[in-house]
């Protein structure tokens, strides 16, 4: 059986998006800078890290804001993930892009469905921050794969702002440094 994996890039000061998130700037001011290691000067190690994440994912869970990025044509109107994608949303939008399934009865239901779809592969909890925070707070994450971009935002959307008061113990599994990011993989100690 696969694992539940959070895999996301953040700034050194813990932000996964800049300020002023909008349709035109789905990652906020300067937010795309976080993905320079993917789209910019990608090294062989960066490419391998990204390839492993995509190939190991049997299902992806995202929030409604990330889905809106798809319908606002940031991804050309198609699902950019290499796996079926479940969207946590309060309601099903009027415009539905192929490859996305909507879940409106909570994170446990979404995870149950994602695990059934993924089979032996991993479930990738991609975000946004609120979705990741809910899964961490509920103790449902097996591994954290954090890619730290060498940039400080100062403001924006923090990844770990609302995970509760209980410490989340982690065991470092891997640390790979490239010019574009420091790639950290942790196992969540339960």
pLDDT at 164: 84
Is the predicted pLDDT of residue 73 greater than 60, yes or no? no
Angle, vertex CA 10, rays to CA 30 and CA 169, nearest 5: 160
| CA neighbours closer than 13 Å in the CB half-sphere of residue 179 | 6
4-188 CATH pick, 1.10.645.10, 3.40.430.10, 1.20.58.1000, 3.40.640.10:
3.40.430.10
Q: Kindly tell me the sign of the dihedral angle through the C-alpha atoms of 5, 10, 14, 16.
A: negative
- What's the burial of 172, exposed, middle or buried (CB within 10 Å: 0-12/13-18/19+)? exposed
Is the predicted pLDDT of residue 72 greater than 80, yes or no? no
Tokens 């100690």 locate to 189
**Phi/psi of residue 41, nearest 5 degrees:** -85, 65
* Residue range 80-107, pLDDT digits in tens: 777 899 999 988 877 777 788 999 999 9
- Alpha-carbon gap, residue 13 to 127, rounded angstroms: 18
Segments making up each domain of the chain, as ranges: 4-188
């Amino acid at each position: 059986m696969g694992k539940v994996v959070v895999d996301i890039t953040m700034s050194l000061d813990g932000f996964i998006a800049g300020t002023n998130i909008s349709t035109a700037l789905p990652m906020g001011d300067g937010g795309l800078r976080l993905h320079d290691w993917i789209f910019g000067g990608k090294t062989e190690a960066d490419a391998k890290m990204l390839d492993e994440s995509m190939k190991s994912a049997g299902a992806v869970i995202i929030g409604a804001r990330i889905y809106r990025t798809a319908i606002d044509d940031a991804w050309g109107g198609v699902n950019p993930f290499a796996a079926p994608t479940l969207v946590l949303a309060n309601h099903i939008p009027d415009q539905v892009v192929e490859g996305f399934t909507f879940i409106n009865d909570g994170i446990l239901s979404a995870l149950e469905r994602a695990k059934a779809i993924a089979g032996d592969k991993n479930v990738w909890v991609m975000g946004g921050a609120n979705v990741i925070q809910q899964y961490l707070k509920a103790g449902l994450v097996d591994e954290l794969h954090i890619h730290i971009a060498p940039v400080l935002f100062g403001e924006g959307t923090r990844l770990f702002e609302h995970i509760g008061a209980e410490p989340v113990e982690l065991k470092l599994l891997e640390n790979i440094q490239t010019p574009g990011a420091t790639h950290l993989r942790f196992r969540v100690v339960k």
